[in-house]
Amino acid sequence: MAQSFNIKRVSSLMYRNLVLLRGAIITTLLVAGGLILVATLLSIRGDYVVKSNEFIGVFSVLFLSIGLLFTFAIFREMHSGKSSYFYFLLPVTALERVIAAWLLSNVIYIIVFTFFAFVIGQIAILLCSFSPSTGIHFLPIFSETFWTVVKFYFFVQPAFLLGAVVFSKNRIGKTLLAAIVVFFCVFIYNLILCFAFTGGAFDVFTSDPFSTDAFDLATKDVSGIGAFLFSLVFGPMMLLVTYFRITEKEIR
């Protein structure tokens, strides 16, 4: 008999994942916190203030890389011998597995890591405030670049969630390779549009400024349909495919 969706089972599965990964999570946060602290202290040196572009650089690298590793760690149990057998015996549905993994590695991760980075950066500012040259100020984390990085992760992360389910070996490498292929296809799509705007391929490889403007126009996608399809494919569609892949593994 098919089970209906239950939010309690989703929260229990999320808690279970956190318990199993607690050691790795604590170690990763300690390392990330140390790097953020050092980077913030170095940013204060000189002008005695942390600028948004100085902080967001180290934040972006850590945020994206740790989020990627965390995404693959959630489904690690699915691909390892006996643990996969016990994993699929859990009284949860495939839909609940996908929602729990997405909430934990996407929504909750964004909130928690942002708060964590802000607190560590603010602590660094408070430590430096003992110096008469450094005044207390709030860490300028919520910049335009910050929201760009967060939106990028929010929409692209489901694709890596699918890679964590589909690939059993070299999961990160294969997923990144697939992402590069998709990026190359998008580039070809923009190049074709550029050919259409210029009237041929010859002008694209010349120094004609019109070809440069055409390529920029193609990259921005004047219709807006490309942006909509991008958010659709790398969001709900990836989660839907992940659901069907987990369902197939449950049947096996």
Q: What's the count of helices (H) and strands (E) in the chain, helices before strands?
A: 11, 0
Please check the confidence at residue 60 and state whether its pLDDT lies above 50: yes
Position 222 confidence tier, pLDDT thresholds 50, 70, 90 = very low
Please check the confidence at residue 204 and state whether its pLDDT lies above 50: no
At position 248, the amino acid (one-letter code) is E
Position 61 confidence tier, pLDDT thresholds 50, 70, 90 = very high
Q: Which of residues 174 and 60 earns the better pLDDT score?
A: 60
Select, from the ranges 12-26, 46-60, 120-134, 171-185, the one with the highest average predicted confidence (pLDDT).
12-26
Residue 208 main-chain phi, psi, to 5 deg: -60, 120
Cα gap 73→207, rounded to integer Å: 48
* In contact, 125 and 136? CB cutoff 8 Å: yes
Cα gap 208→230, rounded to integer Å: 30
Per-residue model confidence (pLDDT) at position 210: 47
Per-residue model confidence (pLDDT) at position 86: 78
Please check the confidence at residue 177 and state whether its pLDDT lies above 90: no
CA of residue 147 relative to chain centroid, distance: 12
Please check the confidence at residue 198 and state whether its pLDDT lies above 80: no
Please check the confidence at residue 46 and state whether its pLDDT lies above 70: no
